[in-house]
C-alpha cells in the first residue's frame, strides 16, 4: 500500500496455509549478452509507504507448517557466459513501514512462521567471462521500518518455529573471473534505518529452526577478485538512526542450530605479479545465534539507550574450506558467535 501524500492508518492480517514455489531454469550453449535468472517467492508480504504523512499500523502475519517457501534458480551455459547472474530469494513473512517527511511512524508487527524456507541458486559454465554472481537468500520473518525527518515508535514480535531455513549458492566452471557467490539464511530479521527523528525500537525474537547457509565454488582456472561467502543467523536486529537519539530494547532467544559453510575448490590462478589481473579469492563463513546492533551519529545529535537480553542454546558452527593449486592470494575466515551485541556512536568524521 502506498499513499503519495497524506496520513495512513491500517490493520493488516495475513494467513497462509499453502506452499509457494518459484523456479527459474536457464540452459544455453553460450551467452554473450544478458544471462540473468531470478526466482523469488514470498509467503505473506506487506509494504506500507507514504510521503509527508504519519503511519499508524498494526500487522499480523502467520504461515502454517504446510506453507513452505522454495525458490530455485539454475543457470547452465555449456560453452561460456558473459556476466551471468543467478538469484534465488525465499521469504515466509515480510513487512515494511516507510515514510519521508512524515511526523511519525507508530507500528506493531507480529510475525509467526511455521513453514520451511529454501533458496537454491546455481551457475555452471565452461567459461565465466568478466564476472559472475550467484546469490541465495532465505528468511523466516523479515520486518523493516524507517524513513527521514520522522519519529519512530516501532515494535516487532517475530517467532520462527519452522524446522529449517536453508540457503545454498553454487558456482562451477573450468575457467572463471570475478566469481562472487553469497548465501544468507536468517530466522528472524528486524532492520530499522531512520534519519533526523527520535527512534524507539522494541524487538522480540525467538527461533527454534535449523538455520543453514552454504556457498560452494569450484573453478579449475581462476582470476580476478572472487568470493564464496556464507552467512547464517537465527535472530538479527539492526537499528541505525542519524541525527537524533535511539532507544532500543531487544529480547532474543534461539535454541536452533546455526550452520554456515563456505568452500572454494580451485585449480590454478593466473595473473598477479607483473600482470594487471588481480588473483584473489576470499572464502568466509559466519554464524550467529543472536545478533543486535545499534548505530548513531554522536556529533549529529544522537545517543543510544539500550536494554538487551539474549539467550542461545543452539549449536553455532562456521566452517571454511579452501582446496586449490598454485598462485593467487587466498583468504579464509570462519566466525561463530552465540550472542553478539554491538552499540556504536561515531563522529561525522568516522572516529
pLDDT by residue for the chain (351 residues), tens only, comes to: 555 667 889 999 999 999 999 999 999 999 988 899 999 999 999 999 888 889 999 999 999 999 999 999 999 999 999 999 999 999 999 999 999 887 899 999 999 999 999 999 999 999 999 999 999 999 999 999 998 889 999 999 999 999 999 999 999 999 999 999 999 999 999 999 999 999 999 999 999 999 999 999 999 999 999 999 999 999 999 999 998 999 999 999 999 999 999 999 999 998 754 445 678 999 999 999 999 999 998 777 789 999 999 999 999 999 999 999 887 899 999 999 999 999 998 765 544
The set of residues, in sequence order, having a beta carbon less than 8 Å from that of 350 and lying 6+ positions away, is none
Asked whether 114 and 164 are in contact (CB, 8 A), the reply is: no
* CA distance linking residue 72 with residue 125, whole number of Å: 18
Asked whether 246 and 303 are in contact (CB, 8 A), the reply is: yes
Q: In this structure, what C-alpha cell is assigned to residue 121?
A: 541458486
Instruction: Supply φ then ψ for residue 326, to 5 degrees.
Output: -95, 160
pLDDT at 52: 84
CA-based nearest residue to 298, from 351, 248, 250, 247 = 351
Q: In this structure, what C-alpha cell is assigned to residue 281?
A: 579469492
Q: In the chain, how long is the greatest CA-to-CA distance?
A: 63
pLDDT at 101: 82
pLDDT at 274: 45
DSSP secondary structure letter of residue 329: E
**Is this model's pTM higher than 0.75 or not?**
yes
* CA distance linking residue 96 with residue 158, whole number of Å: 14
Q: Which residue has the cell 534458480?
A: 73
Length reported for the chain: 351
What's the angle, vertex CA 91, arms to CA 86 and CA 96, rounded to 5? 115
* CA distance linking residue 345 with residue 30, whole number of Å: 50
* CA distance linking residue 212 with residue 134, whole number of Å: 17
What's the angle, vertex CA 26, arms to CA 24 and CA 32, rounded to 5? 130
* CA distance linking residue 154 with residue 142, whole number of Å: 14
* CA distance linking residue 184 with residue 186, whole number of Å: 7
DSSP secondary structure letter of residue 274: T
pLDDT at 350: 46
Asked whether 177 and 155 are in contact (CB, 8 A), the reply is: no
Amino acid at each position: 500500500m502506498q499513499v503519495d501524500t497524506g496520513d495512513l492508518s491500517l490493520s493488516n492480517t495475513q494467513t497462509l496455509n499453502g506452499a509457494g514455489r518459484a523456479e527459474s531454469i536457464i540452459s544455453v550453449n553460450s551467452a554473450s549478452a544478458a544471462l540473468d535468472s531470478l526466482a523469488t517467492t514470498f509467503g505473506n508480504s506487506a509494504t506500507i509507504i507514504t510521503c509527508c504523512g504519519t503511519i499508524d499500523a498494526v500487522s499480523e502475519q502467520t504461515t502454517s507448517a504446510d506453507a513452505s517457501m522454495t525458490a530455485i534458480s539454475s543457470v547452465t551455459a555449456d560453452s561460456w557466459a558473459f556476466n551471468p547472474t543467478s538469484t534465488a530469494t525465499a521469504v515466509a513473512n515480510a513487512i515494511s513501514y516507510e515514510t519521508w517527511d512524515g511526523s511519525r511512524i507508530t507500528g506493531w508487527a507480529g510475525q509467526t512462521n511455521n513453514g520451511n524456507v529454501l533458496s537454491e541458486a546455481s551457475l555452471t559454465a565452461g567459461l565465466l567471462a568478466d564476472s559472475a554472481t550467484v546469490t541465495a537468500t532465505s528468511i523466516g520473518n523479515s520486518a523493516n521500518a524507517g524513513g527521514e525527518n520522522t519519529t519512530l515508535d516501532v515494535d516487532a514480535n517475530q517467532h520462527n518455529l519452522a524446522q529449517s531455513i536453508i540457503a545454498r549458492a553454487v558456482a562451477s566452471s573450468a575457467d572463471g573471473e570475478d566469481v562472487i557467490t553469497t548465501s544468507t539464511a536468517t530466522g528472524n530479521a528486524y532492520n530499522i534505518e531512520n534519519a533526523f527523528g527520535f527512534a524507539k525500537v522494541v524487538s522480540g525474537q525467538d527461533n527454534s529452526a535449523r538455520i543453514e547457509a552454504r556457498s560452494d565454488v569450484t573453478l579449475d582456472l581462476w582470476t580476478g577478485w572472487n568470493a564464496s561467502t556464507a552467512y547464517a543467523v537465527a535472530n538479527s536486529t539492526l537499528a541505525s538512526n542519524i541525527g537524533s537519539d535511539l532507544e532500543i530494547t531487544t529480547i532474543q532467544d534461539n535454541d536452533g542450530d546455526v550452520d554456515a559453510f563456505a568452500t572454494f575448490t580451485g585449480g590454478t590462478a593466473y595473473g598477479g605479479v607483473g600482470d594487471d589481473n588481480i588473483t584473489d579469492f576470499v572464502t568466509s563463513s559466519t554464524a550467529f545465534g543472536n545478533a543486535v546492533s545499534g548505530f548513531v551519529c554522536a556529533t549529529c545529535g544522537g545517543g543510544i539507550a539500550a536494554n538487551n537480553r539474549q539467550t542461545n542454546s543452539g549449536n553455532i558452527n562456521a566452517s571454511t574450506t579452501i582446496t586449490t593449486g598454485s598462485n593467487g592470494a587466498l583468504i579464509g575466515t570462519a566466525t561463530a558467535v552465540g550472542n553478539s551485541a554491538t552499540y556504536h556512536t561515531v563522529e561525522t568524521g568516522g572516529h
